[in-house]
Amino acid sequence: MNAFRARRALRLARLRLTRRERALAGAWRESLQVRVVVTTLAIGLVALACLGAYLSDRIQDGLFAQRMEQILRESARGTQQAQSSFTGSTASTGSEVQQLLIDVATVLSTGGSEQREVFLLRAQGQAAALQLVTAGATDPELVDLISPELREATASGEGQRWQSVAWPRGSADAEGTPAREVPAVLVGETVTLPVVGTHELYFLYSLEAEQEQLEFLQRVLGIGALALTVLLGSMTWVVTRQVVRPVRIAAQVAERLADGHLDERMPVRGQDEIASLGRSFNEMAVSLQDQINRLEELGALQRRFVSDVSHELRTPLTTIRMAGEVLHGARHDFEPSAKRSAELLQTQLDRFEDLLVDLLEISRFDAGAAVLDAERRDVRDAVNAVIDQAVQLAEVRATWLSVDLPAEPVVADIDPRRVERILRNLVVNAIEHAEGSPVEVTLDGDPQAVAVTVRDHGVGMTREVAEHVFDRFWRADPARARTIGGSGLGLAISLEDAHLHGGWLEAWGRPGGGAVFRLTLPRRAGIRLVSSPLPLEPEDAADEAPPEQRHGVDPAALPELADLHHDADHEHEHDHLEAR
């Protein structure tokens, strides 16, 4: 149980750490102010660390040099004092010399600016060694601090010799903690004693006071560096805030302008560079607002013109149609050329009427007046209705229609009229471009959406064509003949119908490999689509022959079911299949 709790606590700690790392990474990516402050602090810390190291080193060298000068001066004075005592002494026996050494050592230990330790050793190479002379409670083991190198250099008799050592103060405690060590300096020089000859005189000076002084200065430098870092960070934060805040406001105003709030402006204060930026931004916003308003007015005038023209043309068109129907009904009494003219007149009147209907429909979309009359319906019914209408056309074009519908109802909130119009455009376009190959219609759904794909195996289309196929009156190959009449607005209206449902209408194609159109609609009105139940690109598309191995005409735009070269013998069979 304890192991389980430990693992659980470890996982929670890792999760919290990961969240903090993500939060820090997000702040670094999203905030210019954070990046500037962190970068400034990093550079400032490096600079302060380098400066602190340099100052500490210089102060240390200065303190050491000053202390060494004092130590060498005091040790030289002590050596002279000892040599004077030895020279003027009348000691002639060993006990007298021993007492003389004790007296001199006692005087030398307390004769400096502060207490020091004194060692007097017989010079190396003498026949016998004299007992170490110390003063007070000096630890006899301190003599071990004198290295052989220092003794050898001192014995050369060339003046003062010194060496830095670590002086253990105190002793190890019961727990085995070693004694505290402080920096110290040993200074040695030779003296001549009566009776016993040359000896080595050593002074041990502690540098603990200088070390404490250096540590105090380092603490002061550290605290000062920390204070400077906080001050630098605060100043950088304030300065960057003054610069970044107008930029953030400009970004917010730009987003508001992009959302259509053209009256949004930046607040401007002062006469500095930021204020100049704000004034320039506001002038740009005013210019954009004026241009957008002019474009909206022109667009409204254009839409009104199209709508008015379409309405105004309906009256003369009705009159012409009545006359045309009279001529068409009596065409059997005409000569062959007049009969043919009456039939062509009737066909073009039908196409003209369809064009007016589509223009009125697209103008309603442009004006935002299109209304979705949604109801809960089985999408299979819309597919079957379109297939029933397209069967006769498929037979004429020698095209096999393949329909794949689920066994269970596929219910969604749809406008049946608009959905049937979309599917009718897609199916009839597929038959037009299938060139006798099969056309496949597939319906499927998931809990969020329903989708219908219409696939043909005809001439196909390029990626560029797929990007423009829903544009109004757009054709990739104007020279390509179309055998089914239309207005050139069918796919554009279909796209608007799909958007009105909150759905997607997409196209895929490959030259010589056919094309696929996919309609995706949400199950319930208002649901945001995130995926489609059916793939847009067929799974077997990669297995088909490459374009250079296929035969056929160049890829063409999917037509909106229009052509002036419609066969008059079959016009009455296809009138109900023309795109709306």
Q: What are 168-214's pLDDT values in tens digits?
A: 876 656 566 667 888 999 999 988 888 777 888 888 888 888 889 99
**Interatomic CA distance for residues 406 and 452, integer angstroms:** 11
Residue 370 exposure: Cα atoms within 13 Å on the Cβ side: 23
CB count within 10 Å of CB 549 equals 8
Q: Can you give the pLDDT at residue 559?
A: 36
223 or 370: which leads in pLDDT: 223
Indicate whether 384 and 365 sit together in one domain.
no
The pLDDT confidence band at residue 540, using thresholds 50, 70 and 90, is confident
Is there a single domain that holds both residue 356 and residue 439? no
Q: How far is CA 561 from the centre of its chain?
A: 47
Write the Ramachandran bin of 371: left for phi over 0, alpha for psi from -120 to 50, otherwise beta.
beta
Separation of alpha carbons 496 and 504, rounded Å:
10
356 plus 381 within the same structural domain: no
Phi, psi (rounded to 5 degrees) for 83: -65, -35
406 plus 330 within the same structural domain: no
Among the candidates 318, 349, 370, a domain finishes at 370
Q: Examine the domain organization and report whether 365 and 476 are in the same domain.
A: no
Q: What is the distance between the alpha carbons of residues 569 and 572, in angstroms, rounded to a whole number? A: 8
Burial class, 434, CB count within 10 angstroms (exposed 0-12 / middle 13-18 / buried 19+): buried
Does the pLDDT value for residue 410 go beyond 90?
Answer: yes
Instruction: Return the structure tokens found at 397.
Output: 């074009």
505 within 8 A of 470, measured Cβ to Cβ: yes
pLDDT higher for 265 or 142?
265
Q: Which domain holds residue 447?
A: 373-577
Residues 361 and 508 in one domain: no
Asked if the structure places residue 545 within a domain, the reply is: yes
**Tens of pLDDT, residues 263-309:** 888 888 888 888 888 889 889 989 988 888 888 887 777 767 766 77
401 shares a domain with 358 = no
Q: What is the rounded CA–CA span in Å between residue 338 and residue 148? A: 136
Say if CB 390 and CB 401 are below 8 A apart: yes
Q: Is residue 404 part of a domain?
A: yes
The phi, psi pair for 254, rounded to 5°, reads -65, -40
Domain at 459, CATH number: 3.30.565.10
151 lies in some domain? no
Mean pLDDT across the stretch 135-157?
Answer: 76
Q: Both 418 and 515 in a single domain?
A: yes
Residue 440 lies in a domain: yes
The pLDDT-based confidence of 363 (bands split at 50, 70, 90) is: confident
The 3-class secondary structure across 202-226, one letter per residue, is EEEEECHHHHHHHHHHHHHHHHHHH
Please check whether residue 529 lies inside any domain of the structure. yes
In a domain, residue 381? The reply is yes
Assigned domain for 451 exists? yes
* 318 and 463 both lie in a single domain: no
The residues, ordered by sequence, that sit 6+ positions from 310 with a Cβ below 8 Å of its Cβ are: 356, 359, 360, 363
Considering 330, 352, 370, which residue would you say is the last residue of a domain?
A: 370
Stretch (H or E) spanning 428: helix 416-434
Tell me the mean pLDDT in the region 496-504: 91
- CATH code, domain with 311: 1.10.287.130
- 209-246 pLDDT tens trace: 888 999 999 999 999 999 998 999 899 888 888 888 88
144 belongs to a structural domain: no
Judgement on whether residues 325 and 445 belong to the same structural domain of the protein:
no
Among 313, 341, 370, the domain boundary falls at: 370
Mean pLDDT value across the chain: 79
Residue 444 bridge partners (DSSP): 451
Instruction: Return the closest-CA partner of residue 257 out of 288, 283, 290.
Output: 288
The secondary element (H helix, E strand) that includes residue 357 is helix 336-367
Number of domains in the chain: 2
pTM comes to 0.47
In terms of domains, do 272 and 397 share one? no
Residue 442: CB atoms within 10 Å: 19
Average pLDDT (525-531) is 89
Q: Are residues 348 and 468 in the same domain?
A: no
